[in-house]
Amino acid sequence: MGQVVALDSLLHSRQVWQGRAAPVPATTQPTGWPALDAALPTGGWPEHAMTEILLPADGVGELQLVLPTLARLTREGRPVVVISPPYVPYVAGWEARGVVMSGVDIVQADEQDVLWAAEQCLRSASCAAVLAWPVHADDRSLRRLQVAADTGKALAFVFRDRRHAVQASPAALRLELESTPAWQVRVRKCRGGNPPVGAVPLASGWS
């Protein structure tokens, strides 16, 4: 039997190569929610990637979550596309939050065309962000959106029912929004680090 050697001694004598994780670069896409930015490894939305937002129901504040980003992008003259939202966006409310509505295109697509429309918009490299509400989305179709977001250098936001939380997701960031007992978000998956253990409160407001 070979001699048992302590790992510490091998590392100290440099007989074992010790890899180190590359640092995760900070994002240039803050969420606008300081508590959420502080909880994410990159300090905001993952760049050129898909964020999946899981919901207990439609209309629980999911648009409030992304409005700071939409306001920032449209003020910079960068187009945003909203595909098949469950409710017609309230223009006055969005403008009150700083969104320049002339920079927002709302697309009403048939249920079977939502994913296709989102992919085409993302790949076009003409959109800064694309929001979509697909009713049915399998792993393959979500991976196509992830690749399309990377190709078009855009932010992709996909809103889905939280029952899909049990399924694996190719999203770079996966959030679950909760409306009770308080408005908060749980980070289920994040690129570049471990998700925080607890929920991130959002009631403190956005910047």
Predicted local confidence at residue 180, as pLDDT: 85
Assign 3-class secondary structure to 154-194.
CEEEEEEEHHHHHCCCCCCEEEEEECCCCCEEEEEEECCCC
Which residues of the chain register pLDDT less than 70?
A: 1-25, 204-207
The answer to whether the Cα torsion of 164, 166, 170, 176 is positive or negative is positive
Which pLDDT tens digit goes with each residue over 131-145? 999 988 999 999 999
Predicted local confidence at residue 49, as pLDDT: 97
Q: Where in the chain are the domains?
A: 42-201
Task: Classify domain 42-201 by CATH architecture.
Answer: 3-Layer(aba) Sandwich (3.40)
Predicted local confidence at residue 1, as pLDDT: 47
**Structure pTM?**
0.86
Contact (Cβ atoms closer than 8 angstroms) between residue 51 and residue 185? no
Residue 33 is encoded by which pair of tokens? Answer: 């929610």
